[in-house]
Amino acid sequence: MQKVDKQKQKKINGWLKWLLIILAILLIVIAGALIYANSYIDRSKAMIEGEITIDGIENTIEVIRDDSGVPHISAESDEDLFFAQGFVTAQDRLFQMEMARRQASGRLSEVAGEAALNSDKYFRTLGLRRAAEKSAELYDEESMAALEAYAAGVNAFIKEAEKEDAYPGEFFLMGLDEMEEWTPVDSLTIGKYMAFDLGGHWERQAFNYYLVNQFEEEEAFELFPTYPSEALTNISDEEYVDITTSMTKAEQPHHFNGSNNWVVSGNKTDSGAPLLADDPHLGLATPSIWYQMHLQSPSYDVSGVIFAGIPGIILGHNEDIAWGVTNVGPDVQQLYVERRNEENSHEFMFDDEWVEADVIEETIDIDGEESISYEVLETVHGPIISEFANGIDSPEANTALSLRWTALDASPELSAVLQMNRASDWEEFETALEDFHTPAQNFVFASQDGTIAYKANGKIPIYENPEDALLPMPGWDSDYMLEEYIPFDELPKVVNPEKGFVGTANNKIISDVYPYHISHVWAQPYRYTRIHEVLEESDNLTIEDMKDLQMDKMNLRAREFTPIFLDILDSQDWDDKEKEALELLSNWDYVDEENQGAPLIFNRLFAKIEDELYKDEIPEDVLEMFKGSSQNADVLVNKAYAGESSIWIDKQGGLESLIQESFTETIEELTASYGEEVSGWTWGDFHQVYFEHPLSGISILDRFFNKKDPVPVGGSSVTVMAASHGDDGVVNHGASWRFVVDLSDLTNADHIVGPGQAGHYRSDWYDDQIEGWVSGTYHETKLDDYEGYRLILKPQ
């Protein structure tokens, strides 16, 4: 018996020995894999010190990255400067650049598979790349040289990455083992994509079209765009007289795309020189949409931000001037209802004749699937986009929707950018704007000579009847062709206004005296009104005041509507919890602070009101095209509170019933989410910022690419500190870059680029500005006397 036991023990010992050997081998293999992965990941980090010998440059180039990761590039020629800009941008943002050109060109399916197919179809249909190719033909020798030098710099880095097996890790995860050469058209296509992100309104036309075909006329018109008649505009009637004599299938821009900017005369500042501030509101993601740089050569000494993939500096300052933009949001996209020939689907009626559309045969390659053929039709107006209108079709048979859009025309924006970078005064800067067609932007400007100025700039169609811009127009009638544009010299402009400042926040910019139509859908006036009241009340403004105003969380929508809600709700017999919630609202100072409960109650209550107004009547996918829905909700509530009839509110049993039921449901939902103790609720429990990386949706990668948890943050979509959130409370849209500068010293300016400069998740500059974005902690970027990590690019 003992002998048997010994044999068993011997076998067990043998198994254990082999198990230990196998485990040891596995540990060695895993350790080796981790070491290799670690080495591979580190190889793809940007080289920021030392020397790189490189082909394609004439002279030595110096690149100094300062403490915030901002590259300061000094070159002896403009060509070397833009070569280095391309090289350095690719060092930090190569994966972002690759995804940007693929998305804008309709080529995401090649790496993302069928999930990206609808997006690719949409961008192939729009033809941003086709528009970029047409635009390239417009560029002069100087601009094309900049584009080619930039592309050569990107390609030089691609070669380095291939040689060192040092592509960013995202390439491996997406199954990309190589990258096609960068071209000037790639840069221009990304520029056209930014016009897409900032210049759309056709979805609202399609929504209006849905309304008039689904509801009675009065009911439909009540949801058409409106704007408060008493709201401030940038240009009053008096100023105008003075200045004119001197789809779920479709990828949609964010509803709250906008911005703030303002410029203050030296007569109202502590330094005696102008102050300028700008904070463009775009999607918040990792990496940032912006890349901050300082470029220096014989022709340039300019600092600011640019989209990764494009040469120059689009927003910022040089030694003499500073400038910033917000989105005008004009009606530059027009839908047309096209009559299709029943016997030939490629022909459409135009002035009583069948006219054949241009047929563009596209092949879309799909990762893991067979390639598909995709047909794009372009009528005399533009591409047929019915497929992407969320089922919003004409009631007539054999019709289609086409899109006329200024961004699909050839346009030379990069020439404008390069001219702006070198401008030294308002005259030179305004001349540069003549080449900036799309997207239409509100430019604010300041120079060291004390001039401050504003111009709403871009290619904006002239509508003989402004009401035509509310709905699709008949594509078969040439009388509805949009062939003329507001003359450049008649675009809204103010130079050195008497009040000492001018600013914009996507609000209505012109009074009714202005002779041209610009838009039906303006941002709610709350941000601009707040900017105006702060700037108006002081004559001793400082750069710190500008920062404070950019971080201002005063909610003027709450200041307007909280008294209305309290008036309606105070008359009811509520339980203790609801009474406590009402008390929080009644004692609130209307500031959307993240540590207060009142902003949570107010903002969720208004969201519930909007939901109740529309959800039972309009399908969810169609509601996604209802841009400006909050503006309509404001108008409907005010209208009903003033005793006027409102069909949409009457459907809810009247305003009192709507508010009471929405309040009850809001408190129930907040209790379920945050507990019974109302005193413990805070806005930041729900409202949190998270700069999501595009690959962090894959759960195993979340902690790699988003190393920090969502951060509670104040503000909202209607505060100057813009922080717009989704249904889950995650803030995904807001000030993508904050910039303030005092023209008394243009050798430096203050910036915030959330979440950071670098695209590599192991870089110290990957997400180092998240806390600063939340708290308003800026970094200073200088034009001289800067220090940091020094990289030398040497010619071969």
User: Band of the pLDDT at 43, cuts 50, 70, 90?
Assistant: confident
Task: Report the pLDDT averaged over residues 550-554.
Answer: 98
User: Model pTM?
Assistant: 0.92
Residue 243 C-beta-side C-alpha neighbours within 13 Å: 27
Residue that terminates a domain, selected from 681, 714, 734: 681
Of residues 237 and 377, the one with the higher pLDDT is: 377
Q: Please report the pLDDT score of residue 779 as a whole number.
A: 98
Residue 668 structure tokens: 């129930």
Tell me the C-alpha distance between 178 and 496, whole Å. 53
Give the H/E segment covering residue 261: strand 258-264
772: in domain: no
Q: Helices 655-674 and 556-569 sit at what angle, rounded to 10 degrees?
A: 110
Point out the annotated binding site for Ca(2+). Answer: 331
- Write out pLDDT tens, residues 55-103: 999 999 999 999 999 999 999 999 999 999 999 999 999 999 999 999 9
* The two three-digit tokens of residue 733, written as one number: 């849209």
Phi–psi pair at 75, nearest 5 degrees: -135, 160
Domain boundary among 666, 681, 696: 681
Q: Does residue 240 register a pLDDT over 50?
A: no
pLDDT band at 251 (very low <50, low <70, confident <90, very high): low
Say if strands 275-283 and 258-264 run parallel, antiparallel, or are unpaired.
antiparallel
Q: Compute the distance between CA of residue 426 and CA of residue 450 in angstroms, rounded to an integer.
A: 10
- Which residues neighbour 118 within 8 Å (Cβ) at sequence distance 6 or greater? 249
C-beta separation of 254 from 724 below 8 A:
yes
Does residue 326 fall inside a structural domain? no
- The number of residues in the chain equals 796
User: Which pLDDT score, from 0 to 100, does residue 19 have?
Assistant: 63
Evaluate whether residue 652 is within a structural domain.
Answer: yes
- The answer to whether 530 and 554 have CB atoms below 8 angstroms apart is yes
Range(s) of the domain holding residue 5: 1-43
Q: What is the pLDDT of residue 394?
A: 63
Domain count, the chain: 2
Contact status, residue 186 vs residue 122, Cβ threshold 8 Å: no
Active site residues: 259
Lowest mean pLDDT across 2-11, 513-522, 570-579: 2-11
Among 509, 327, 478, 508, smallest CA distance to 404 is for 478
What beta strand segments (E) does 386-484 contain?
A: 399-405, 441-447, 452-457, 473-474
92 belongs to a structural domain? no
DSSP string, 335-367: EEEEEEETTEEEEEEETTEEEEPEEEEEEE--T
Please indicate, yes or no, if residue 768 is contained in any of the structural domains.
no
H/E run at residue 73: strand 71-74
Give the integer Cα–Cα distance in Å for 169 and 167: 6
Domain membership flag for residue 571: yes
Q: Considering the domain boundaries, does residue 151 fall inside one?
A: no
pLDDT, mean of residues 460-472:
95
The per-residue pLDDT for range 290-302, each reduced to its tens digit, is: 999 999 999 999 9
Domain boundary among the residues 633, 654, 681 is at 681
* C-alpha dist (Å) from residue 476 to 104, 332, 341, 345, 360: 30, 20, 12, 15, 21
Asked if the structure places residue 706 within a domain, the reply is no
Where do the H-state alpha helices sit in 615-768?
620-623, 629-641, 647-650, 655-674, 683-686, 702-705
Q: Report cis status (omega within 30 of 0) of the bond before 497.
A: no
